[in-house]
Amino acid sequence: MNLETGYFKKLAHLLSENGLSELSLQDGDKKITLKREDNVVVQTEPIKQVVSEEKPAATTEKTIEEKPKRTPILSPMVGSFYSASSPSAAPYVSVGDTVAAGQVVCIIEAMKLMNEIESDVSGKIAQICVEDGQSVEYGQVLMYVE
């Protein structure tokens, strides 16, 4: 796996061009995963590569560790996103709310069926990425939990 700087730029372009949110590549014991969040491409797994006896720069790892861990809640289907059970009801969650694993956070309407979407993790809602009534795709990020 050729790991030149231009290689990462090509992968980032591939993510952007094809509307992908994540891209994983593996070649033997080397594996990289690129993940796009908020129009930013982030390397999510360290690359294990022995080039020389020099130690890798610690600043890159330190920068990644300082960010709070955000777990995405993904749409399990294609449909319409609804933040509440009805137009007059309060939303299931808002930014800053604390959720427990298994708690309903939204509804996806698919083929006239209302499907409750539950959080897989406990934490605080950091960001809601879609608007009420918006169409969503399979695997699309609905919201992030910290």
First to last CA, the chain: 33
Type of residue at 80: S
Which of 17, 34, 67 is at the close of a domain? 67
Give the residue numbers spanning the domain of 12.
5-67
pTM of the model: 0.54
Looking at the fold, whether 76 and 45 belong to one and the same domain comes out as no
Looking at the fold, whether 36 and 101 belong to one and the same domain comes out as no
- Spatial distance between the Cα atoms of 72 and 139, rounded to a whole number of angstroms: 10
For the CA atoms of 94, 75, 104, 120, what is the dihedral angle to 10 degrees?
Answer: -100
Q: What is the pLDDT along the chain (146 residues), one digit of tens a residue?
A: 555 556 667 777 676 676 677 777 777 777 777 776 655 455 555 555 555 555 555 555 555 556 678 999 999 999 999 999 999 999 999 999 999 999 999 999 999 999 999 999 999 999 999 999 999 999 999 999 99
Looking at the fold, whether 77 and 50 belong to one and the same domain comes out as no
- For residue 16, what pLDDT is reported? 66
The alpha carbon dihedral of 96, 97, 103, 105 has a sign of negative
Q: What angle do CA 78, 75, 100 make, to 5 degrees?
A: 150
Which of 47, 67, 87 is at the close of a domain? 67
Looking at the fold, whether 76 and 141 belong to one and the same domain comes out as yes
Domain count, the chain: 2
